[in-house]
């Protein structure tokens, strides 16, 4: 053990750890979640510490030796070699002070070792005076959540695009398969099965546009605002310098805030991107509900499509196959919607110059990003790519659909078509059979009319 001292007194710290006395106190105090702050948020803080060190050096406030040692320490952490050094519980002081100090201590001690010292040697690199120079937890922690969100956006978008690609492949494969549409779960007008898949793909494409727009807003960071966002004890050039250095480190276009006080006390930008994740979850959930309905059966349901079998569906009913992938995805989406609810409540719970609900915001936001990325990948690979269509069943529903008569409206009018539909349901004859029998139109004319109904915008 080594003995360390802070403003509250002295404490023993294990020799083998790189964190220090503040972290040890936090470990004694906080244990609500039973799990640490997401490593993505920790890495966000580390990137900010790196950027701040470079900015301080450029402004003549941190010497080259310390700056380089801090940079190397940050690089080592970001390589994943010290994840176990960040054990502080998620539910801590509301601004994330414990985690900020945890990061400061680990970086300082790694830097001290770089300079020939040992952990706890504050004379070489001080966690507050050097690593945290010009910073406040109030700005660093929320900025770290923003960095984490920006970092996680690319992999999520890649997985959603993968899902979109698989849906579009099926849209092309099923473009000639006609089916009966349904509204209110009742027969409606016809469409091609490919059109159904294309609509699902387009909904997710719109979600990606929303995600890109919300990501732009979290590229604005408040680091360097200090305490309430006024930038106390720092030079005017510090905040834009941090954004510039962070952009160079990450390859992302971060920028200083338009209003430093606003960005310190409001978490709305993070709530905004969380709400987009909720919308993605809602659209993926709706997609899964549709797939489960269309695959229901095989003998007593719709059975228009066949989902790939991934496991036996029952421990008591031999041969039963369930839409397991879609069910797993549905539950994942429900979780994301719940995560967003926590983020929205946290964003609304600030008081005066600071919102003290930052860790729960970062925790739920990161979880949602990761859950959605894995869910989109699972759905694309384990479900969509292997879907087959039951053309015979689709044709049967199309021919007997009560909604098929709707395509006759322009020719016969609503009232006459309503009578035909009633007769069809009563006699079990299709709309096609009735119009041909009654001499209303030929088979060729009817087929042409139906074909036009699935492409209403074409001349």
Please list the active-site residues: 184, 314
Burial label for 421, CB within 10 Å (0-12, 13-18, 19+), is buried
8 A C-beta contact, residue 301 and residue 381: no
Tokens of 35: 């799990």
Cα 167 to Cα 164: distance, rounded to the nearest angstrom: 5
Tokens of 360: 């729960």
Q: How many residues does the chain have?
A: 459
Q: Which of 222, 69, 76, 77 has the alpha carbon at shortest distance from 135?
A: 222
Cα 388 to Cα 409: distance, rounded to the nearest angstrom: 33
Cα 314 to Cα 320: distance, rounded to the nearest angstrom: 6
Q: Which of 114, 118, 99, 91 has the alpha carbon at shortest distance from 17?
A: 118
Across 310-439, the runs of DSSP E, i.e. the strands, are 388-389
Q: Which of 41, 275, 52, 74 has the alpha carbon at shortest distance from 145?
A: 41
Euclidean distance between the first and final Cα of the chain, in Å? 83
Cα 51 to Cα 32: distance, rounded to the nearest angstrom: 32
Distance, C-alpha 152 to centroid of its chain: 8
Place of tokens 């106390």: 232
Per DSSP, the three-state class of 7 is: coil
Burial label for 32, CB within 10 Å (0-12, 13-18, 19+), is exposed
Half-sphere exposure for 266 (CA within 13 Å, toward CB): 13
206-209 contacts, C-beta under 8 A, 24 or more apart: 207/160, 207/276, 207/279, 207/280, 207/283, 208/157, 208/160, 208/161, 208/164
Cα 124 to Cα 66: distance, rounded to the nearest angstrom: 8
**Helices 64-78/39-58 angle, 10° precision:** 160
């Amino acid at each position: 053990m080594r003995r360390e001292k802070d403003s509250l007194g002295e404490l023993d710290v294990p020799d083998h750890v790189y964190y220090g006395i503040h972290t040890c106190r936090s470990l004694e105090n906080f244990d609500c979640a039973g799990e640490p702050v997401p490593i993505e948020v920790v890495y966000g803080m580390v990137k900010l510490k790196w950027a701040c060190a470079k900015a301080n050096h450029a402004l003549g406030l941190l010497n080259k030796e310390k700056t380089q040692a801090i940079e190397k320490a940050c690089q080592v952490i970001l390589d994943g070699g010290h994840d176990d050094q960040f054990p502080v519980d998620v539910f801590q002081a509301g601004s994330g002070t414990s985690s900020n100090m945890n990061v400061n201590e680990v970086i300082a001690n790694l830097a001290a070792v770089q300079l020939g010292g040992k952990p706890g040697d504050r004379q070489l690199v001080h966690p507050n005076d050097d690593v945290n120079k010009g910073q406040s937890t109030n700005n660093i922690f929320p900025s770290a959540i923003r960095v984490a969100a920006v970092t996680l956006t690319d992999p999520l978008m890649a997985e959603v695009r993968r899902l979109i690609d698989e849906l579009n492949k099926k849209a092309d494969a099923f473009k000639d398969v006609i089916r009966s549409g349904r509204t209110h779960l009742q027969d409606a007008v016809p469409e091609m099965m490919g059109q159904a898949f294309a609509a699902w793909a387009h909904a997710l494409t719109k979600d990606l546009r929303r995600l890109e727009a919300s990501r732009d807003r979290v590229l604005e960071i408040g680091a360097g605002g200090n305490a309430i966002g006024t930038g106390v004890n720092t030079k005017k050039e510090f905040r834009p310098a941090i954004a510039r250095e962070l952009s160079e480190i990450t390859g992302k276009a971060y920028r200083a805030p338009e209003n430093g006080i606003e960005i310190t006390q409001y978490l709305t930008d993070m709530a905004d991107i969380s709400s987009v994740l909720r919308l993605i979850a809602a659209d993926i959930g709706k997609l899964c509900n549709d797939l489960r309905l269309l695959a229901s059966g095989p003998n007593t349901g719709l059975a228009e499509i066949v989902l790939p079998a991934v496991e036996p569906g029952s421990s008591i009913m031999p041969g039963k196959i369930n839409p397991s992938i879609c069910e797993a995805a549905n539950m994942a989406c429900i979780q994301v919607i719940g995560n967003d609810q926590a983020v929205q409540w946290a964003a609304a719970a600030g008081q005066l110059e600071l919102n003290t609900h930052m860790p729960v915001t970062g925790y739920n936001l990161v979880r949602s990003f990761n859950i959605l990325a894995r869910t989109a990948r699972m759905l694309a690979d384990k479900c969509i790519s292997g879907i087959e269509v039951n053309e015979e069943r689709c044709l049967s529903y199309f021919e007997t659909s009560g909604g098929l008569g709707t395509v006759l409206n322009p020719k016969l009018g609503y009232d006459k078509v309503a009578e035909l539909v009633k007769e069809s349901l009563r006699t079990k004859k299709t709309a096609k059979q009735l119009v041909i029998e009654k001499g209303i139109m030929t088979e060729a004319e009817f087929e042409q009319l139906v074909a036009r109904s699935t492409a209403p915008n074409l001349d």
